[in-house]
A and B are shown apart, each in its own frame.
Chain A
Amino acid sequence: MARISLAETPHDIWVVAEVNEGSVTPLTLETVYGARTMADLMGFYVNAAVLGSGLPDVAQPLIRAGADRVFVIDHSALATFEVELWSKALADVFVAQAPEFVLFGATPAGEALAPRLAQRFVGGFIARCVSLRIDDFDRAFVGKRAVFDGEYYEVVATTGPTPQFATVLPDCFGPPYMDAARSGQTQRLEVDLGDGRLQKSHAVEFEMPRPKLKAAKRIVSAGRQVGNVEAARQLAARLGAEFAGPREAVDEGYIDESQVVGVTGARVSPDLYIALGIRGDSHHAFGIQDARYVVAVYPDADAPIFRQADVAIVGDPATVAVELEQLLSRL
């Protein structure tokens, strides 16, 4: 393994920031805030690296969330995210700046960059942390990550002295405290990316056929008690969600065979599952046990669906569906 020599002994915590539509992403701010908490324990500085081309001034929110220094790497070849170029730019910066700990959000970009840099710097790496701290005795990351699709967790520790890396999922550190009184510096860094040529063509957006129920990220589901199935369909459309239901919804004519969730249909794993007028018997319960966040509306407070719900309203599903649709239209 080729050892890379750093310009200095590793020190400080770095966060690689992501900018979307001109502003820093919420996950980046949360990560900077988490880095701040850890840095205060260790007596470190928090540095944020912002990459891109023709970047807007995003230093303020980063400093408020906890960054001491914001390093801006503005280069024409970094206009769109291409992991080969971005990792090269970051590697150049890290050789000169010698970070000890580097944090990324577990986004498509962060999850591609972090392992590349960990491999290059022969450093420890923990992917997709649900919680993370620095062990002040070992000077090492100690992170918790889900294994077997969240069946259980595993605690992993990295070791120094080379830079250590981690990607963090949302809610790893909690909502950031934005301190308007905090001050920090901004510095521009130059990187050499050669001619910025790639061995692949720049990516173009591609229109995919709509995902099937199993792959859907959002599902609105209507059961026998939905009252007004049109309202439920409109809510689904508003959310860009798939429309589905339990087996009995087929009998009601609300859905067809391909939209059934449950033992005899699809086992779904959306981020958001809205159950309208579904009692939630076990055959349906099985189908949604992997849903991340379940909203349930049902007129009877004793319905089993409420045992699976993260948020619940005991009430009329049709009314709630209409209200939700209207509230969402105003966002």
Chain B
Amino acid sequence: MRIVVCVKQVLDPRGIAVNRKAEKIFINREEYILDPACKAALQVAAGIKAALTASNGATPPEIVALSIGPARADDALREAMGLGADRAILLADAAFEKADALVAATALAAAIRRIGPVDLILLGTRSLDTGSGEMASRLAETLDLPQVLEAVSIEAVPGRVTVVYRSGKSFFKTEVALPAVVSVVPEAFEAGLPDGWRLMDAYTRGVVATWGAADLGLANEDCRPMSAKKEDAVPPERQLGTKVRDSSEIITLLRRERLI
């Protein structure tokens, strides 16, 4: 069995300060971290590996961490190895510089095909930065696999997984035949710290393989983004609230905000 965990390196939000009044965004410290949602996905992968290894004693599943990004994403992949990935692959190429989610998904899917037979593809539901939560669906579409978004618990047996997932305010349970794409809700999984020795090994002996567009069989045409960021914008300054006299006005306002 092989599990691929797609990970993303994001800007550390602790280095960002937004002054709404002056309408300015300050990046005080440009540091990058492994997205917390990806850590949860790695946690789940490690859990599945432990459970399957203990239960049937057969060859333990292999966990592959996969990322697309600039050379600095190497760090995120080494941390992923510290968190349980057996090997790591970085998709880096000048052609990916302007990549949007479309190009990223195309490249990740091509890489997953190149890795060989993959049984489970795990991701965080939403990344910390854009939070658009689109990657799992895109991969499932490109690879023509079943998908489950927002998983809060995953149990694997050879050949299939049982997933409890969140949809709006409710939770549902489904059984999915592998291979499949599953995105996980980070809050549902207690994220552990990387194992110290593993992390040391990842940095000293670990190898992050680098694949370019040519390795993935992607032409320039395939790396053309269809969306691009134009600018940043600052949310409006927080206004003082409305003062009302009686409770029925509160109900009216709550209904207008669709809160009840």
- Shortest distance between the CB of A176 and any CB in chain B (Å): 13
B187 touches A142 (CB 8 A): no
Q: How far is the CA of A148 from the CA of B16 in the complex (A)?
A: 9
| A193 touches B (CB below 8 Å) | no
Interface residues of B in 108-151 (CB under 8 A from A): 128-135, 137-138, 140-142, 145-150
Chain A: number of interface residues, binned into ranges: 35 or more
Q: How far is the CA of A127 from the CA of B131 in the complex (A)?
A: 9
B164 touches A208 (CB 8 A): yes
Q: How far is the CA of A154 from the CA of B146 in the complex (A)?
A: 31
Residues in B whose Cβ lies below 8 Å from that of A137: none
Stretch binding the partner chain, chosen from B55-63, B192-200, B204-212, B222-230:
B222-230
A215 touches B187 (CB 8 A): yes
| A199 touches B (CB below 8 Å) | yes
A307 touches B233 (CB 8 A): no
Stretch binding the partner chain, chosen from A156-164, A182-190, A278-286:
A156-164
Residues in B whose Cβ lies below 8 Å from that of A146: 131, 235
- Shortest distance between the CB of A291 and any CB in chain B (Å): 11
In chain B, what residue has the closest Cβ to A144? Answer: B233
Residues in A whose Cβ lies below 8 Å from that of B133: 111, 127
Q: How far is the CA of A274 from the CA of B121 in the complex (A)?
A: 41
Q: How far is the CA of A144 from the CA of B128 in the complex (A)?
A: 17
Stretch binding the partner chain, chosen from B46-54, B73-81, B88-96, B244-252:
B244-252
Residues in A whose Cβ lies below 8 Å from that of B25: 152
Given known A-B contacts A1-B222, A170-B258, A271-B259, A114 and B131 have beta carbons under 8 A apart: no
B230 touches A157 (CB 8 A): yes
Residues in B whose Cβ lies below 8 Å from that of A116: 137-138, 140-141
Stretch binding the partner chain, chosen from A117-125, A220-228, A245-253, A258-266:
A117-125
| A204 touches B (CB below 8 Å) | yes
Residues in A whose Cβ lies below 8 Å from that of B149: 108, 111-112
Among A152, A202, A314, chain B packs the most CB atoms within 10 A around the CB of A152
Residues in B whose Cβ lies below 8 Å from that of A152: 16, 18, 25, 232-235
Main secondary structure on chain A at its contact with chain B?
A: mixed
| A328 touches B (CB below 8 Å) | yes
| A68 touches B (CB below 8 Å) | no
B134 touches A127 (CB 8 A): yes
B232 touches A307 (CB 8 A): no
B141 touches A156 (CB 8 A): no
- Shortest distance between the CB of B97 and any CB in chain A (Å): 17
Q: How far is the CA of A295 from the CA of B253 in the complex (A)?
A: 10
- Contact for A126 among B172, B227, B244, B250, CB less than 8 A: B227
Interface residues of A in 118-149 (CB under 8 A from B): 118-120, 122-128, 142, 144-149
Given known A-B contacts A272-B259, A327-B251, A142 and B230 have beta carbons under 8 A apart: yes
Q: How far is the CA of A145 from the CA of B230 in the complex (A)?
A: 12
A84 touches B147 (CB 8 A): yes
A320 touches B247 (CB 8 A): yes
Residues in B whose Cβ lies below 8 Å from that of A156: 227-230
Residues in B whose Cβ lies below 8 Å from that of A145: 130, 132
| A205 touches B (CB below 8 Å) | yes
In chain A, what residue has the closest Cβ to B100? Answer: A124
A162-187 vs B, Cβ < 8 Å mask (1 yes, 0 no): 10100000100000000000000000
| A7 touches B (CB below 8 Å) | no
A328 touches B251 (CB 8 A): yes
| B242 touches A (CB below 8 Å) | yes
Q: How far is the CA of A294 from the CA of B132 in the complex (A)?
A: 25
Q: How far is the CA of A155 from the CA of B18 in the complex (A)?
A: 16
A150 touches B235 (CB 8 A): yes
Residues in A whose Cβ lies below 8 Å from that of B231: 154-155
Interface residues of A in 71-105 (CB under 8 A from B): 83-84, 87
Residues in A whose Cβ lies below 8 Å from that of B250: 295, 311, 313, 320, 324
A206 touches B173 (CB 8 A): yes
Residues in B whose Cβ lies below 8 Å from that of A147: 129-131
| A304 touches B (CB below 8 Å) | no
Interface residues of B in 16-65 (CB under 8 A from A): 16, 18, 25
- Contact for A148 among B128, B172, B187, B249, CB less than 8 A: B128
| A293 touches B (CB below 8 Å) | yes
8 pairs, CB–CB < 8 Å, chain A vs chain B:
A115-B132, A120-B141, A151-B13, A155-B229, A159-B228, A204-B173, A310-B257, A324-B250
Top 3 nearest A-B pairs (CB, nearest first) are A127-B132, A115-B134, A323-B247
A contact residues vs B (CB 8 Å cutoff): 1, 26, 83-84, 87, 107-108, 111-120, 122-128, 142, 144-159, 162, 164, 170, 198-208, 214-215, 217-218, 239, 271-272, 293-296, 306-314, 320, 323-324, 327-328, 331
